[in-house]
Chains A and B, each alone.
Chain A
Amino acid sequence: MPYLPHTKRDIAQMLDAIGVASIDELVRVPAAVALRAKPEIVAALPESEIVRRFEEFAGSDRATTMASFLGAGAYRHYCPPAIMALAMRGEFLTSYTPYQAEVSQGYLQAIYEWQTYICLLTGLDIADASVYDGATALAEGAIMALAATNRKKILVSRAVHPNYRAVLKTYCDGLDVAIDEVPLLPGGMTDPQALRDALSRGSYAAVALQSPNFFGIVETVPEDVRDAFKRSGTVPIAVVAEALALAAFPTPASWGAQICVGEAQSFGVALAYGGPYVGFIACTSDHLRRIPGRLVGRTVDRNGKEAYVLTLQAREQHIRRERATSNICTNQAHCALIATIYLALMGASGLRNCAAQNVKRAHELVKRVSAIPGCRLQFEAPFFNEFVLNVGSSAADVLKALQKRGILGGLDLGRFYHEMSDCILMTATEMTTSKDIDALCAALQEVVRVPASL
């Protein structure tokens, strides 16, 4: 067996010390719960064979070799190799939650740096050590607001990532909390009038708004909506699905968000078919007692020397049990570490430049594809690195046809918005090449039907 050190002699000596004749005596279970069937598991393989099999599986994921314009909450960005060289160091990789602070100062400091990075990016006062992903961050943020306001309703924009809204619903069902949605303007933005009306009518614990929203559009929050937040006592939650955009646009704090939740996969974390990613929660200091998950604090040791430690643990499940603010235990520390190293490597100018490259590529792409007969840009508002292309007929069919030509053209929006079944959510990042764009345009020209009137 590959990872077991025991020799026959070791086993004999150990059994002797224990005072039993065989391991069977140690692992005996009552007859009533003995194995009813022998589990069917593949026979053991040597390591060389394991690698070969996984190479075969990897080889049949043909999507990874194609030009891709997929985004929608999971983004392909450049990852400097230094990230993995550092993050895969065994000390980081194989450590547990840093309960023993004295032998975990390095990781604790790195998480303190992560918390600081998230605060600096969002403009908020505090951030936790991470949660599972963007969607669960939204659910946890909503629960914070429920506790803060003692209300039982959540308001969420329809331009928030549909998967995040679905997860919010799963969580809220358990708590008997109702969710209302704010409709979209024809331009693809959250309808501010409808938002104000809803806030004045109902007593909502929180209102969740995403920018850039699911369609890539940069949402702005007008003064009168900010006033409505204050008047209604509703906690504004900013949702961020593309964290790179935080480098480009005014902070969530600047428009009055008290809580910012989001996904930091863009900061060096692999796409990996959906996970693990890394969710973050930041908030104003008023919400300190309600923020879920681990928090690293800076303090001193017995000799007065600076030291880091997990703190405010009395909020957490292992102490507070059924009274805890959240059940979260395992977080995404290693992904948070990756993101921290990514941010350190990029620096302010590198990150801002990366954001500029995304915007540039996306604008090049939109210019090209919207010029193709039969295609048009669905929404005109300023956007970051994704936009909605209307292809005039079934987006699903167009995407299938593109696939046959070796291109992943984007996401069929009909999957989430029934009125947008002719629309594709297209993404470009700094990884998108001119060659990819040329290939996409050539293919679109072939597959998009030109309306008869032209």
Chain B
Amino acid sequence: MYQPRSERIPLIFEQGQPGRANRYLPSDAQLSDYLPAENLRAELPLPESTELDVVRHYTRLSQRTFGIDTGFYPLGSCTMKYNPRVNDAVANLPGLRDLHPFAPDELSQGALRIMYELERSLASLFGMAAFSLNPAAGAHAELAALLIAKKYFSDRGELNRQTVIVPDTAHGTNPASASMAGFRVVSLKSDERGRVGVDTLRAVLGDDTAVCMMTNPNTLGLFEDHIAEIARAVHDAGGLMYYDGANANALMGIARPGDMGFDLMHLNLHKTFTIPHGGGGAGAGPLGVAEHLVEYLPTPVVRAIAKDGSTANEDSRTYWLDFDVPKSIGPMRSFWSNFAHIVRALAYLYANGLEGLTDVSRLAVLNANYVRVKVAPFLETPYPEICQHEFVASAQELKKQSGVRAVDIAKALLDRGFHAPTMYFPLIVPECLMIEPTETESKETLDQFIAALEDVVATAKRDPQQILDAPQRTVVARVDETRAARQPDLRWRAPAGVT
């Protein structure tokens, strides 16, 4: 049997021979038959391999990649839950996969209905007036939301509203998006309970406040229990509330950002709604807004009307893309949505229904608390209270005792067949490990993970060098990131003298 080994896999550019490609299409034409030769490219220095060689190459590369399908992946804030295969199957139906974005509305009714249904469902599930499926990812939706805020205040003549408030536990995308939309950022220090303090917030609110961006549960896995007061304070100051939906997996059927007073929000469908992360994307980041901001949503907007003029009867509706929305901030991307992912998300919604989604969130919270209480005896948990879908642990004490840091624990977990938790985030917890088990993991898997983590900590105390030398069982040992950054090698180049 073939065992994945650890020897170097040559780059695709170092493989093959000229003459081994060009098998898929007729070859009865030359570019120069139709175009002036001086307009054409002289050389195209790409490798040529047989199909078998290409299949082997990428199969071998896949064997050196850890996915949810490979093992437990408790990466905090990333919601690495099982990605059901039926979602991929329906996204791959030719009537959905092969639809051209400029196909006329009347011939794209199935696709438009999928978009409309998901949009309506999300609005109801999260308590917002409407969603746009336009943004390609969470950060993209944040940018769109802040552009909406900017336009909204500008329309109201409140040009002084230039400040975006971001807690110090926020995802890095929040302040980065605010800068991209031309706002100034004020960072808000969390209180000793890991939450935004209402008084701390009040101290920075003013007539320059545009938006306050919050994650709830926050990145410590804690519910912001003063959220109603916070929202009131921001609204009283004339600002808008933004909900970062990265952690929405804790909330479905339990609470709604709309009910908490949020005016704008995004979801990461690639987290909560089981879209495969695919090595870092593509994702999808629907953007939700309250009633007063609906007219600013990006274009196009999916609309529906029944033959009798109402929107009631879903089977007699006609759907269309509305590009003519005068107050819209405009489009955020080339075409309408990451549609294949909209399909996947709706399939997931169908598979669960409201009760199922509520159970998803309840069991995500159960799993996180279970791991938290089991880990607490051997690893510091700086916020020892009921958490939501994730929690943070800290290797600070362990580091003092043994010199073993969060990164070393992460690497030792890799050797034990688990993916590492998120490390060093949020920034306010030293030697932070952020653990999000998700609801699709069984108690057996959680127990195995807890045992592995305990073993790592025990080994660290007994024989720290063993942990400092991890990982040992992966195809490469710890990677020299300093060298990577100091001497960037970002592409292959043909050896001198070879073309």
When A and B assemble into the complex, do they touch directly, with CB atoms less than 8 Å apart? yes
For the complex, is A403 an interface residue (Cβ under 8 Å from B)?
yes
CB distance from A221 to the nearest CB of B (A): 12
Give the chain A neighbours of B41 by CB distance below 8 A.
Answer: 246-251
Question: 3 nearest interchain CB pairs?
Answer: A347-B21, A58-B95, A274-B335
Q: What is the CB-to-nearest-CB distance from A249 to chain B, in angstroms, rounded to a whole number?
A: 6
Asked if A54 and B90 sit within 8 Å, CB to CB, the answer is yes
Known: A329-B139, A344-B54. 15 other contacts (CB 8 A): A1-B356, A2-B351, A25-B386, A33-B227, A70-B103, A102-B471, A116-B492, A132-B282, A175-B182, A249-B39, A249-B41, A309-B484, A317-B172, A341-B54, A344-B57
Q: Is A444 an interface residue (CB 8 A)?
A: no
Is A359's CB under 8 angstroms from B34's CB? Answer: yes
Q: Measured between alpha carbons, how far is A311 from B491 in the docked complex, in Å? A: 12
| Cβ-defined contact, A26 with B366, below 8 A | yes
Residues B46 and A92 in contact, CB atoms below 8 Å apart = no
Question: CB < 8 Å: which of A107, A345, A357 contacts B279?
Answer: A107
Given A5-B442, A57-B96, A326-B180, A103 and B65 touching (CB < 8 A)?
A: yes
| 15 chain-A/chain-B pairs, Cβ below 8 angstroms | A61-B107, A70-B100, A94-B69, A100-B420, A103-B64, A274-B335, A299-B487, A327-B179, A330-B137, A330-B140, A333-B279, A346-B22, A347-B16, A350-B25, A355-B31
Q: Which residue of B lies closest to A127 (CB)?
A: B491
Neighbouring A residues of B91 by C-beta, 8 Å: 272
Chain A residues with CB below 8 A from B96, complex form: 54, 57-58, 61, 272-273
Give the distance in Å from the alpha carbon of A180 to the alpha carbon of B135 in the complex.
Answer: 25
Q: A58–B110 contact, CB under 8 A?
A: yes
* CB neighbours of B57 from chain A (8 A): 344
Is the Cβ of B55 less than 8 Å from the Cβ of A18?
no
Nearest CB of chain B from residue A276's CB, rounded to whole Å: 3
Known contacts being A11-B366, A64-B99, A353-B25, is A250 close to B40, with CB within 8 Å?
yes
**B459 contacts partner chain A, Cβ-Cβ < 8 Å:** no
Is A418 close to B, CB under 8 A? no
A327→B352 contact, CB < 8 A: no
Say whether A330 contacts B283, CB under 8 Å: yes
Q: Is the CB–CB distance between B282 and A299 below 8 Å?
A: no
Distance from B111 Cβ to chain A, minimum over Cβ atoms (Å): 5
- Chain A residue numbers with a CB within 8 Å of B419 are 100, 103
How far, in Å, is B101 (CB) from chain A's closest CB?
Answer: 4
Contact in complex: A347, B147 (CB < 8 Å):
no
Instruction: Check B490 against A334 for contact (C-beta < 8 Å).
Output: no
Task: Judge whether A380 is part of the interface by a CB distance below 8 angstroms.
Answer: no
CA gap between A351 and B46 in the complex, in Å: 9
- Partner-contacting stretch, out of B195-203, B305-313, B357-365: B357-365
Q: Of B78, B147, B361, B483, which one neighbours A299 at CB under 8 angstroms?
A: B483
Within 8 A of A (CB), among B30-86: 30-31, 33-36, 39-42, 44-49, 51, 54-55, 57-70, 73, 75, 78, 80-84, 86
- A347 vs B334: C-alpha distance when bound (angstroms): 28
B355-384 interface code vs A (CB 8 A; 1 in, 0 out): 111011111011101100110000000000
What chain B residues lie within 8 Å of A10 (beta carbons)? 442-443
Question: Please, how many angstroms separate the alpha-carbon atoms of A133 and B337 in the complex?
Answer: 11
Indicate with 1 or 0, residue by residue over A17-45, a CB within 8 angstroms of chain B CB atoms: 11110010111011011111111111111
Q: Of the 9-residue stretches A163-171, A185-193, A196-204, A435-443, which lies at the interface with chain B?
A: A163-171
In the complex, the chain A residue whose C-beta lies closest to that of B86 is: A47
| Alpha-carbon distance between A216 and B476 when the two chains are bound, in angstroms | 47
In the complex formed, the residue of B with least CB distance to A296 is B490
Looking at A82-90, A227-235, A369-377, A445-453, the stretch in contact with chain B turns out to be: A82-90
* B362 CB to nearest A CB, Å: 5
Give every chain A residue within 8 A of B410 (Cβ-Cβ).
100
Assuming the contacts A1-B359, A63-B103, asked whether A170 and B147 have C-beta atoms less than 8 A apart, the reply is yes
Chain A residues, Cβ within 8 Å of B178: 322
A276: which B residues are within 8 A, CB to CB?
Answer: 136, 281-282, 284, 338, 340-341
B24, CB-defined interface residue at 8 Å: yes
Complex: A107 Cα to B113 Cα, angstroms: 35
The interface bits of chain B over 124-147 (1 if a CB of A lies within 8 angstroms of the residue's CB, else 0) are: 110100000000111110110011
Query: Does B242 touch A at the CB level, under 8 Å?
Result: no
CB neighbours of B361 from chain A (8 A): 27
Check if B98 is an interface residue, CB within 8 A of chain A.
Answer: yes
CA distance A111 to B140 in the complex (A): 22
Q: Give A85 to B92 CA distance when docked, in angstroms.
A: 13
* Residue A115 CB within 8 A of the other chain: yes
The yes or no answer to B449 lying at the interface (CB within 8 A) is: no
* Interface members, chain B 462-499 (any A CB < 8 Å): 471, 474-481, 483-485, 487-492
A266 proximal to B (CB < 8 A): no
One of B9, B104, B109, B481 near A60 (C-beta < 8 A): B109
Residue of A nearest to B494 (CB): A120
Report the nearest B residue to A319, measured CB to CB.
Answer: B172
Return the contact of A29 from the options B69, B94, B223 (Cβ within 8 A): B223
The reply on A368 being an interface residue by CB < 8 A is: no
A26 contact set on B, CB distance < 8 A:
362, 365-366, 369, 386
CB–CB A45/B330 < 8 A: no
Taking a contact as CB atoms under 8 Å apart, the answer to whether B107 and A403 are in contact is yes
A86 with B59, Cβ < 8 A, contacts A23-B362, A26-B369, A274-B101 known: yes
Chain B positions within 8 Å of A55 at CB level: 93, 95
Let me know if B102 is at the binding interface, CB within 8 A: yes
Q: Which of A46-91 contact B (CB under 8 A)?
A: 47, 49-51, 53-66, 68, 70, 72-74, 76, 78, 80, 82, 85-91
Please give me the residue from chain B that is nearest to A298 by CB atom.
B489
Interface string of B264-305 (1 = CB under 8 A from A): 000010100010111111111100000000000010000000
Q: Flag A138-167 by CB within 8 Å of B: 1 or 0 each.
A: 000001000000000000000001011011
* Interface: A419 (CB within 8 A): no
Is B61's CB under 8 angstroms from A106's CB?
A: yes
The interface residues of chain B lying within 8 Å CB-to-CB of A100 are 66, 410-411, 414, 419-420
Question: Which of A18, A64, A249, A297 sits near B484, CB closer than 8 Å?
Answer: A297
Residue interface bits B166-181, CB-to-A below 8 A is 1, else 0? 0000011101111111
Contacts of B343 in A (CB 8 A): 54
Whether B66 lies near A248 (C-beta < 8 A) is: no
B440 touches A3 (CB 8 A): yes
Whole-angstrom CA separation of A326 from B201 in the bound complex:
27
Stretch of B204-212, B233-241, B253-261, B395-403 contacting A (4+ beta carbons < 8 Å):
B253-261
Q: In the complex, what distance in Å separates the CA atom of A214 from the CA atom of B347?
A: 36
A104–B260 alpha-carbon span in the complex (Å): 39
A108-148 Cβ-contact flags toward B at 8 Å (1 or 0): 01111101110111000111011011111000000100000
Residue A4 CB within 8 A of the other chain:
yes
Q: Are A96 and B277 CB-contacts (below 8 A) given A2-B351, A317-B176, A350-B21?
A: yes
Chain B contacts for A173, CB-based, 8 A: 147, 150-151, 329-330
Distance between A446 CB and nearest chain B CB, rounded to angstroms: 19
Within 8 A of B (CB), among A277-302: 277-278, 288, 294-302
| Chain B: minimal CB distance from A26 (Å) | 5
A309 to B490, CA, bound (A): 10
Interface residue? B441 (CB, 8 A): yes
Give Cα A248 to B42, complex, Å. 9
Whose C-beta in chain A lies nearest to the C-beta of B362?
A: A23
In the bound complex, residues from chain A placing their C-beta under 8 Å from that of B58 are 86-87, 89, 110, 341, 344
